[in-house]
A = this chain, B = another copy of it.
Amino acid sequence: MVTPKYLTGDKPAIDEFIDRFDTFLFDCDGVLWSGEQVYPKTVETIQMLKDKGKRLVFVTNNSTKSRAAYKQKFDAKGIPCNEEDVFGSSYSAAIYISRILKLSPPRNKVFVLGEAGIEHELASCSIPFIGGTDPSLRRDMTPDDYTSIASGAALDPAVGVVLIGLDFHINYLKMSLALAYLRAGARFLATNGDSTLPSHGTLFPGAGATGAGIVRAWGAEPLALGKPSQAMMDAVEGKFHVDRTRTCMVGDRLNTDIQFGIEGGLGGTLAVLTGVSKKEEFLGEGKEIVPTAYVDMLGDLLG
């Protein structure tokens, strides 16, 4: 049985833990903040790690914001961060589509179910897309929609990928179009599969939830490119040239963050209890995903 080390209040253990790593990969929602509320001492903790010369990379499954938009959120919260230190699931998906799938005309367009973050990252990789925040799709189905979707007249024949992420504007029309594209042979990708989104101290539906209708109707899971997909870890390693044995993943969710770090062969993982997973899920016999250490909240690393 692996027992994770509880670091809160144990200054010597904290220092020893921090010294083992050169790079910290941080999840954001549930670790740094919940919605708009930043957890206490987050700013000071990030600054302390930077002062110790650590490299910090913010690895988030939240697909709704581009790296640039994330940088703005960090700035607004007073958390020190460079845009190039942010690595989101939208960016991971865009890299996968441009470097691995390498789609070429006439079927190289992406039908997006998600928000502006996905659109910005696809555009940054010069990938053509439709859907997303298109206001013409934010409406009820009409009788004509049924007819034109069924006949294929409503479908863009250039679409070769359906990419689903967290979509705050999911509706029946967009679900119907996505299903029709899949039935017409499009590949099925997802930025991430998180079932919930921690915000305002509770849980709201996550990307895995807003996309679940299409998964259910289509009958098969998409390839998810956010945590815990190792496609994302490979992309992080390729970009930042990290030494995995000297890298620690910090997160609140066992089945995304901690699993991501363990499967990636990182030197360590640190769970925080401010988000989704509770300590009962990794303490005790027979637990599958167990972090190296845990703290009640990130700010406890200040000692």
By a beta-carbon cutoff of 8 Å, the part of chain A in contact with chain B is: 35, 140-141, 146-147, 149-150, 167-172, 175-176, 179-180, 183, 195-196, 199-206, 208-217, 219
**Nearest Cβ in chain B — how far from A292, in angstroms?**
26
> Which residues in B have their C-beta under 8 angstroms from that of A141?
168
Say which residue of B35, B183, B196 sits within 8 Å of A202 (CB atoms): B183
10 tightest Cβ-Cβ pairs between the two chains A and B: A150-B200, A212-B212, A212-B216, A209-B217, A209-B213, A205-B217, A209-B216, A150-B202, A175-B205, A212-B213
Contacts A168-B172, A172-B210 known; A217 to B203 CB distance under 8 Å?
yes
Say which residue of B150, B168, B203, B208 sits within 8 Å of A199 (CB atoms): B150
Could you say how many copies of this chain the assembly holds?
Answer: 2
Which residue of chain B has the shortest Cβ distance to A197 in the bound complex?
Answer: B217
- Is the beta-carbon distance between A205 and B201 smaller than 8 angstroms? no
**Nearest Cβ in chain B — how far from A77, in angstroms?**
16
**Nearest Cβ in chain B — how far from A186, in angstroms?**
15
Say which residue of B147, B176, B206 sits within 8 Å of A205 (CB atoms): B176
Contacts A200-B147, A205-B217, A219-B195 known; A170 to B171 CB distance under 8 Å?
yes
Separation of A48 and B131 alpha carbons in the complex (Å): 48
**Nearest Cβ in chain B — how far from A113, in angstroms?**
12
